[in-house]
Structure 1
């Protein structure tokens, strides 16, 4: 006999990404903890939680021990919000008698009176308002009044049992200013969300959150990037590629250049990834753009995310080679976006890529370059994991991904800032080499998972007509090292078609 377990209804927080991380929101009728240092966005999320309830016809109560009504309303106004009458703000201040030294009891500690009076006023406010959603800001004040861990725990348990009898969904805020090691509330509440703020050596601060506990409920684990912008908090749930899979028709995508397609064994398979490696100025972006232009010519859409080059310069540079990116953009066939690595987190970037693939049905995605993407990452290991999930997601959506990596050096031994060759399905290697007193360029395919390819090396040129590839360099040895030796019959190299 199948046993059916009825899950409690969810109270949405008003932050879409956070609801996604918590599998729908907060379980109704339970107490949750939202903790983080000052400035991490606790109050903003709390206000979103109450405003979401107000839209659903639920009465809300914000009990504040640390901020004034005016400060809360000003904070809401900064996001374009107006706190409606259906949300009560109860500003809890000590009774006048507790502030008057002459009127204080001398036989009792003032903290004993303050804690009791504080709890009594909280209960009275709840009885008066009869709210469905409650925010208590902040626990640090109660912890200071309790003075001991035992009294603090008893007070939190008393609040929890009182809230449980009321059936309200409660969000407790803790700014971690009194005792960061005290985990008393963690064991009492139904769930815990922790907010963090990181300060990199350069660039804007980074914020992330993690659900550390949620009783009887699966949730999306790990860290999730988020930002605070005008309009509230936006959370970018960590990408899990296994959750996204669609069917698509496999086919080879051509570049429009016969010699390049021949080198690739007929083209690049849809839903695969291609990594273009090479030194600065070798034409990595142009190789990726060649496939984008061919896809748009077939009637498909594409997306390009540019880290390293200003878009105006890119538009002018490639237009001289026959690629009118502005016309593609105006026709709605190309989404091109400049990404500031110092201002965007990896989670937000992955979210942008996902949205573009989902909304515009982009079948070709270019990330130019991973060097810029790496600058947005605190550690190289995290970069590899982020790229792995992003590539897996794009592949399962049937999108073909082109990534570029600038290697250190110009000729001879080359080094990459990060090795992603094992992740990519196809690896295109670009090289400079010197021959007959001139610097020339060579391209080869060093890896292709999805089929056969030429094992030759072809010279290529960049001119007014874009890319031009020549015949295989059969008479040379050491081209990829940059110092070739001619060992074959005399044969002319690729004729130069013009300056870059």
Structure 2
């Protein structure tokens, strides 16, 4: 039973064979019914239809592709571009109007040629069905039938006739509609057993984004909402919308240490497993370094970690962090660190969530880092649900027992600063980094402004980044106004870190 609809499907299913789509459809298409797949040209209807027939052929079911818009050669070339071969279990029937109907000397004056063409086209389609006797049928496309019918009444009756005819023979039918003749025509929506809508979005910058939605499915559970999908060599991959409440794993919560005693003391012993930590601060303060410290500690414990990098080129990251004692390249080569460069302009939110799930579900990564949310936001141009995406992703990771680290770069260097997206209320722990000036030097400070699980120090500590990684000093009890950037010294002996000490070189 589906949690969203409360409906349980009972009829045998015909899997589509499209990765992720059968999850959205809760198994596939119910056998013996007629379904509508609609979308503008280029949204992937033909690719899904071909994969639907190939999935049937793999189980020995005969398939029939009836094309009124593309030639057989175009279909076979399209299939070959994905590495598919249409075998003898899939017949392509190209409906070509009889030459007599196109010859002006042969046209009858009492009937429009479209009347003759519709009848002849229907006869050819049913004749091909009788000859092949398929279990799966694709009719491409309804736009041609709509134009030949000329009126909504004739069009509806023709589609109903197809529906009853194919149903009597137990065939599962996929009707394609490219919406080129009348995008507002919803005639088939009430006739079809189910309707799948494909959309293509063109952001101001970057590659096109595609998504689908199951608008209707009679008597069967479906996963509602929009689901991102991509078309690449090998076919279509659908990325079902992540619903965190559907994923829960039992695990024992324990404190995760960073390996730096002063940082762990600041955190009250560390962070909780299965919690999320947000590292917040202006550019250059060392947000990535704090995250890498926890990743290195996790790998030292024998665990796997996953790092998704939006903002920095991997080669530069490897060289930069090696000087701080983090050999990320060696960790990756050993299979302990799963690191991925994310191109924000080419990735949809659904595909990114899918990649994160793969690292946690299949690779068993227990520490996940996203650097940074600024880059993640850039991957979602014209998206209004960024916080909801992050919420579901964090909830899913927490319920899987994965410890998550996020970074956000704030605008500004000192004083009042703002973040492009406020997710502090979503994170379980918030680590705040700041620049401050003291004794003629620009220094860095760290504090914990939030921790849901357990106590933490309320102090502010100075830190440096050197060849041995993070170095934290004692609490800055003798200073006031550190977070504003220009503190006032109110003590007698300041606990500042000594400049130029071994391993304390500025980063």
TM-score, length basis structure 1: 0.98
- Give the superposition deviation at 1:379: 4.3
**Matching of residue 193 in structure 1 with residue 200 in structure 2:** no
Shift of 1:488: 2.1
Q: What SS does the corresponding residue of 2:182 show, helix, strand or coil? A: coil
Matched with 1:326 is 329
Deviation of residue 125 (structure 1)? 0.7
Distance 1:300 1:7, change over 3 A: same
2:100 is the alignment partner of 1:89: no
Within-5 A mapping of 1:332-481: 332-379=335-382, 381-481=384-484
**1:279 correspondence with 2:282:** yes
The answer to which of 474-483 and 71-80 deviates more is: 474-483
Tell me the residue number matched to 2:213.
Answer: 210
Deviation for aligned residue 1:446 = 0.4
Superposed, 1:186-335 pairs within 5 Å as 186-335=189-338
User: Residues 270 and 398 of structure 1 are in contact (CA less than 8 Å); yes or no, is this contact kept in structure 2?
Assistant: yes
Match of 1:499 in 2: 506
Q: Is the 8 A contact 1:413 1:481 kept in 2?
A: yes
Given that residues 12 and 52 in structure 1 are in contact (C-alpha distance below 8 angstroms), is that contact kept between their aligned partners in structure 2?
yes
**Could you tell me which of 177, 180, 198 is aligned with 1:177?**
180
How far apart are residue 477 of structure 1 and its match?
Answer: 1.1
Q: What number of residue pairs does the alignment pair up? A: 497
- Indicate whether 1:35 and 2:38 are aligned: yes
Q: Among 49, 54, 60, which residue is 1:46 paired with? A: 49
Contact 1:432 1:439 in 2 (8 A): yes
Which digits, 9 at most, give the CA deviation of each residue in 1:64-104, with x for residues without a partner?
00000000000001001111011111000111110101000
1:486 maps to which residue?
A: 489
Match of 2:3 in 1: none
- Counterpart position of 1:22: 25
Cα separation, 1, equivalents of 2:495 and 2:453: 33
- Partners of 1:315 and 1:195 in 2: how far apart? 41
* Contact 1:380/1:418, CA 8 A, preserved across alignment: no
Distance 1:499 1:415 in 2: 25
Within 2, Cα distance between the matches of 1:223 and 1:488?
Answer: 59
Higher mean C-alpha displacement, 78-87 vs 131-140: 78-87
1: distance between equivalents of 2:114 and 2:303? 70
User: In structure 2, how many angstroms separate the alpha carbons of the residues matched to 1:423 and 1:200?
Assistant: 28
Q: Spell out, residue by residue over 1:283-331, the C-alpha distance to the aligned partner (whole angstroms, 9 max, x if none).
A: 0000000000001101111000000000011111111111111111111
The answer on whether the counterparts of 1:464 and 1:499 sit within 8 Å (CA) in structure 2 is no
In the other structure, the counterpart of 2:116 is: 113
Check conservation: 2:318, 2:328, Cα contact below 8 A: yes
The TM-score normalised by the length of structure 2 is 0.97
Structure 1 spans left out of the alignment, 5+ residues: none
1:137 pairs with 2:144: no
The alpha carbon displacement at 1:380 in A equals: 5.7
Runs of at least 5 residues in structure 2 that lack an aligned partner in the other structure: 1-6
Cα deviation for residue 476 of structure 1 reads 1.1
- 8 Å CA contact 2:9–2:220 kept in 1: the answer is no
Shift of 1:495: 1.5
- SS for the counterpart of 1:312 is helix
Shift, 1:492, TM fit = 4.2
In terms of mean alpha carbon deviation, does 272-281 or 321-330 score higher?
321-330
The CA deviation at 1:337 is 0.5
Q: Alignment partner of 1:16: what SS?
A: coil
Q: Is the 8 A contact 2:476 2:495 kept in 1?
A: no
For residues 113 and 64 of structure 2, the distance between their equivalents in structure 1, rounded to whole angstroms, comes to 27
TM-fit CA distance, 1:371: 0.2
- SS of residue in 1 equivalent to 2:385: helix
Q: Distance in 2 between matches of 1:499 and 1:492?
A: 17
For 1:492 and 1:456, the matched residues in 2 are separated by 13
Which secondary structure state, in structure 2, belongs to the residue aligned with residue 363 of structure 1? strand
Deviation string 1:400-433 (CA, Å, 9 cap, x unpaired) is 0000000001111110000000000000000001
- Counterpart-to-counterpart distance in 1, 2:22 and 2:44: 16
- Residue by residue over 1:219-265, the C-alpha shift from the partner in whole angstroms, topping out at 9 and shown as x without a partner, is 00011000001110000000001111001111000001111000000
The answer as to whether partners of 2:478 and 2:489 remain within 8 angstroms in 1 is yes
- Going from structure 1 to structure 2, the CA distance change for 1:211 and 1:145 (only over 3 Å counts) comes to same
Alignment pair present for 1:70 and 2:77 = no
**Is the 8 Å Cα contact of residues 197 and 213 (structure 2) preserved in structure 1?**
yes
Conserved 8 A contact 2:9-2:221: no
